[in-house]
Amino acid sequence: RIKAIRGSVSDTVWIPDVFGYSQCLPQIFYLAEIPNFFTTKILWSTITKFPHNSFVWTGPDGESEVLAHLGVAGYSGKVSLKEVIIGGRNYKQADVHNEVLCPSGYGDGGGGPSEDQIERSLRLQTSFAGDLSPACKWGTSDSFFKRLASVKDELPIYRGELFLEYHRAVHTTQSDFKKNLRNCERALQTREAMRVISANYTPLNMRENWERYLFALFHDATPG
């Protein structure tokens, strides 16, 4: 779908609002030929602070890897002077790469930046020019990662899961909703398993079924 919109597949896995990641993901990204990964919430941990912002995330096989960036400014930035200054000060890899990715707009609602945010971004490009705050300019995630890749050999290497010490589960008072989701998943798995048991290896067109189910697994939807 991204390819249909922009003419090519994105080189970046963009998942800002998730509560942790399995250590096998670098292998999956590598096999999918996606070199970059962006997220943010891992920096919210309450006790053990994650040590890096930009790093090379390596899979358990020791070979597959993805270039990762944890957004210092979150994922629904307001393009304020305070955000820009804090983002620049808190960037842990500033010694090898002097640029941070600052997503802006109303991300939780699927919206983009407001007129006020765009106006502030334009003023930040010209008003301070990097003297009192970091210089700002619009760009794309893919172009950001291309510049980050130029210092890849100087970035720290991390192996293991990305664990968030904050949100520990998705709880709900609407148990029937989660029960129905689980029954849906079991039905889809059973349908595929029964075809294998019966030696019927003709591929099933279940993409729409799985997509509808997976879309409903969003953590703000499963609580009901």
Our answer to whether residue 17 is catalytic in this structure is yes
Q: Which of 11, 17, 108, 176 is the catalytic position?
A: 17
Q: Annotate 112-147 with three-state secondary structure.
A: CCCHHHHHHHHHHHHCCCCCCCCCCCCCCHHHHHHH
DSSP string, 27-63: HHHHHTT--EEEE-GGGG-SSS----SEEEEE-TTSS
Task: Tell me the three state secondary structure of residue 104.
Answer: strand
Both structure tokens of 78: 């307001």
Kindly list the catalytic residues.
17
